[in-house]
Amino acid sequence: MANNIHKTALLGPKVQLGNNVTIGPYSIIEGEVTLGDGVDIGAHCLVEGNTAIGEGCRLFTGAVIGSMPQDRKHQRTDKVFLTIGAHNVFREYVTVNPGTIEGGGKTMIGDNNLFMACCHVAHDCHIGNDCVLANYVGLSGHVTIEDRAVIGGLSGVHQYGRVGFLAMVGGCSKVNQDVPPFSLVDGNPATLRGLNIVGLKRAEIPSSSQRALHSAFKILFNSGLNRSNAILQVQNQLNGNGLPEIHRVIEFIQTSKRGIS
Catalytic residue IDs = 123-124, 141
Question: Do the beta carbons of residue 114 and residue 128 sit within 8 Å?
Answer: no
Question: Do the beta carbons of residue 38 and residue 19 sit within 8 Å?
Answer: yes
Cis peptide before 189 (omega within 30 of 0): yes
Q: How far is CA 253 from CA 65, 161, 177, 223, 230, in A?
A: 33, 13, 11, 16, 11
How many Cβ atoms from other residues are within 10 Å of residue 30's Cβ? 17
Closest CA to 137 of 160, 169, 159: 169
